[in-house]
């Protein structure tokens, strides 16, 4: 199922905050609604954010809104996922700022992401041994892309090929994108899975119950450092300790060739209430303070392979654009 789609001059999107208990579909003709949905994680996942931002600019043109203001609002939603800025800049590079051209280009961005996801799945599945239990973190499935998935796309393809017998799903605190979204996608696909707390992953590896780790990416620097959901770096350290392949899956739209290392990637910090409360239920003392990084950076030396539509990249990673 697609997380965002265009129909009859409306943008439709799944409000992912409501999953897995409720499937709520919203529609809008206002780019501001899309920006708010991105900022508040109703729309999330780097490729999906880029697609939504492209369609948001179509809505701005359709309504005769100030395009510069729309760009400013959209760019101000989330700083880490480079697909957001890539998609906006691609739309702005069009020779004319007219509805027909903008809509065609947004559809191209969505279609190309679908194709890249399928290529990533085909390439990446070859890295998964037969009879594997694969661990994944956060959600890099259809909900985070144009509808198929990057990391979860590899896992789906490997399952179809008989390579995967079970998926281990990190719950992914504090917003539980693993247990809420990835588990929901796997259940819909009929793929066996088990949810674990984030701090169980290391023990699962020690027990030899993890064959490979496959994650997505929100931004990849030119030296191969990877920004992804907070907790990814910890998994990479553990995988390195227990000699388990650590695989990153992302389209080339997630590569930021302008930056040399992960130290230059802007890391989003979100509201501390996401840590101190969950769905309006307080889980910490009223006076407690929290640190809430949305992402961390995994050093390239901890990564076994980066799978993109152009191929499988291995250390030492490329230092120039593909």
The percent helix, strand, coil of the chain (3-state, each to 5) is: 40, 20, 40
The pLDDT tens digits of the residues spanning 87-132 come to 999 999 999 999 999 999 999 999 999 999 999 999 999 999 999 9
What is the Cα–Cα distance from 103 to 133, expressed in whole angstroms? 41
Strand ranges (E), 245-298: 246-249, 255-256, 277-278, 281-282, 295-298
Long-range contacts formed by 21-30: CB under 8 A, 24+ apart: 28/59, 29/59, 29/62, 29/63, 30/59, 30/63
Catalytic residue, candidates 113, 170, 198, 218: 218
Which H or E run contains 302? none
pLDDT band at 134 (very low <50, low <70, confident <90, very high): very high
Q: Please name every residue paired with 194 in a beta bridge, in sequence order, or none if there are none.
A: 168
Query: Is the confidence at residue 229, as pLDDT, over 90?
Result: yes
More confident residue, 156 or 280: 156
Query: Is the confidence at residue 320, as pLDDT, over 80?
Result: no
Mean pLDDT, the chain, integer: 97
pLDDT band at 319 (very low <50, low <70, confident <90, very high): very low
The pLDDT tens digits of the residues spanning 237-295 come to 999 999 999 999 999 999 999 999 999 999 999 999 999 999 889 999 999 999 999 99
The pLDDT tens digits of the residues spanning 19-41 come to 999 999 999 999 999 999 999 99
Query: Is the confidence at residue 322, as pLDDT, over 90?
Result: no
What is the Cα–Cα distance from 234 to 25, expressed in whole angstroms? 34
Question: How crowded is the C-beta side of 47, counted as CA atoms within 13 Å?
Answer: 32
Query: Is the confidence at residue 318, as pLDDT, over 80?
Result: no
Determine the pLDDT at residue 55: 98
Mean pLDDT along residues 125-151:
98
Q: Does the active-site annotation cover 218? A: yes
Contact predicate 46/83, CB 8 Å: yes
Q: Which residues of 291-308 are buried (b: 16+ CB within 10 A; e: fewer)?
A: ebebbbbbbbebbbbbbb
Which H or E run contains 46? helix 46-63
Q: Helices 99-125 & 82-92, crossing angle to 10 degrees?
A: 140
What's CA 159's distance to the chain center, in Å?
20
Q: 174: cis peptide before it, omega within 30°?
A: yes
Domains and CATH numbers, the chain: 4-117 (1.20.120.420), 126-313 (3.40.50.10470)
């Amino acid at each position: 199922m697609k997380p965002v789609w265009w129909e009859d001059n409306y943008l439709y999107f799944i409000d992912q905050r409501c999953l897995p208990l409720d499937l709520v579909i919203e529609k809008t003709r206002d780019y501001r609604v899309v920006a708010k949905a991105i900022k508040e994680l109703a729309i999330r996942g780097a490729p999906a954010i880029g697609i939504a931002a492209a369609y948001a600019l179509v809505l701005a043109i359709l309504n005769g809104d100030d395009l510069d203001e729309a760009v400013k609002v959209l760019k101000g939603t989330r700083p880490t996922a480079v697909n957001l800025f890539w998609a906006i800049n691609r739309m702005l590079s069009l020779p004319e700022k007219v509805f027909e051209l903008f809509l065609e280009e947004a559809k191209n961005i969505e279609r190309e992401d679908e194709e890249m996801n399928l290529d990533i799945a085909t390439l990446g599945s070859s890295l998964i041994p037969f009879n594997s239990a694969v661990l994944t973190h956060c959600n890099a499935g259809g909900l985070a892309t144009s509808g198929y998935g990057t990391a979860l796309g590899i896992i789906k393809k490997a399952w179809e090929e008989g390579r995967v017998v079970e998926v281990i799903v990190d719950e992914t605190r504090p917003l539980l994108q693993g247990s809420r979204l990835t588990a929901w996608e796997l259940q819909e696909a009929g793929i066996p899975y088990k949810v674990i707390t984030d701090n169980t992953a290391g023990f699962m590896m020690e027990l030899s119950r993890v064959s490979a780790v496959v994650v997505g990416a929100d931004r990849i620097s030119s030296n191969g450092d990877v920004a992804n959901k907070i907790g990814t770096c910890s998994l990479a350290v553990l995988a390195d300790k227990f000699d388990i392949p650590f695989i990153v899956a992302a389209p080339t739209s997630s590569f930021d060739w302008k930056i040399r290392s992960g130290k230059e990637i802007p890391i989003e910090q979100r509201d501390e209430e996401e840590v101190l409360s969950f769905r309006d239920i307080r889980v910490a003392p009223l006076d407690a303070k929290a640190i809430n990084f949305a992402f961390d950076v995994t050093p390239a030396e901890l990564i076994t392979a980066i799978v993109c539509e152009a191929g499988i990249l291995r250390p030492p990673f490329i230092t120039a654009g593909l």
